[in-house]
Amino acid sequence: MKGYYHSKETFGTVDGTGIRYVLFLAGCKLQCIFCHNPDTWQHSEKMIDSKAVLHEVNEYRNFYEASGGGITVSGGEPLLQPDFVAELFSLCHNNKIDTTLDTAGFCSKIALLKVLPYTDHVLFSLKAATIPLHRKLTAGYSNRKIIENLQIVAKRKPVTLRYVILPEITDTQIEMTALVNLIHSLRAVNLKVDLLPYHKMGIEKWNALKMPYLLKDLEPPSAAAIVQAKNKLQSAGICMAAS
């Protein structure tokens, strides 16, 4: 089976544990206004075969296994191509290769359940905890379906919940309280939160695509702001991912 992809990386170190082969699939409907890879939103013409990916992973397998790594499928939104990801992860499991799914959860329940059985760990990117803010940060979408999918994942797999701190936007009292309440409601098997500071490294891509970047005047959060957000979550009994 073939999938549409944007790019691939053979020495990824920030998309899961250890050193990883990272495959970035093409296509995403959320279109977040702070996205640093807007060039992944549209389907590309590039396609890759699942067996070809497995062959490439095996070429560097010694590095991945020695570091506790494996393969991560990211995007875009990989769950827009669930049949391809499910087949690829199934092949990896048959070859005892660790699999990580990097998703924003904006997909059907059917798509999610196709991939989860072959997934060892999930990186789940939550854009906002409340519906109004989620609509503002994406192309007008509610996060209701996303939270339903997060609930499914959290009960079945180890999850790292990724949450970007946009100063005075995603770290307000309302948003942080909503985030805490959401996490407490998940009844997760194994969940940690990774707070990511907003950055401007994607602006050049927006300019190249001739798309207006609405957050051009927003500055990245200070180190103190990140610590404050972490303290709020930790004081609520929430486990943080190792930085």
- Residues whose CB falls within 8 Å of the CB of residue 41, separated by 6 or more in sequence, listed in order: 27, 28, 31, 35, 76
pLDDT of 46: 92
Token pair in block for residue 4: 């549409």
For the chain, give the mean pLDDT: 96
29 Cβ neighbours under 8 A, 6+ residues apart: 77, 80, 106, 139, 141
Round to whole Å and give the CA distance between 2 and 87: 10
pLDDT value at residue 55: 96
Is the four-CA dihedral 144, 36, 166, 73 of positive or negative sign?
positive
For residues 8 and 48, what is the distance between their CA atoms, to the nearest angstrom? 10
Domains (range + CATH), the chain: 2-235 (3.20.20.70)
Question: Of 225, 200, 223, 226, whose CA–CA distance to 213 is shortest?
Answer: 200
**pLDDT tens track for 50-95:** 999 999 999 999 999 999 999 999 999 999 999 999 999 999 999 9
Query: Does the structure show a pLDDT above 80 at 243?
Result: no
202 or 21: which leads in pLDDT: 21
> Model pTM?
0.96
The pLDDT, as a whole number, for residue 206 is 94
pLDDT in tens, 104-151: 999 999 999 999 999 999 999 999 999 999 999 999 999 999 999 999
Average pLDDT over residues 179-191: 94
pLDDT at 185: 96
For residue 224, what are the contacts with CB-CB under 8 A and spacing of at least 6? none
Question: pLDDT digit string (tens) for 10-57?
Answer: 999 999 999 999 999 999 999 999 999 999 998 878 999 999 999 999
3-class SS at 78?
A: helix
Please give the helix or strand (H or E) that residue 199 lies within, else none: none
Q: Which residues pair with 193 in a beta bridge?
A: 161, 240
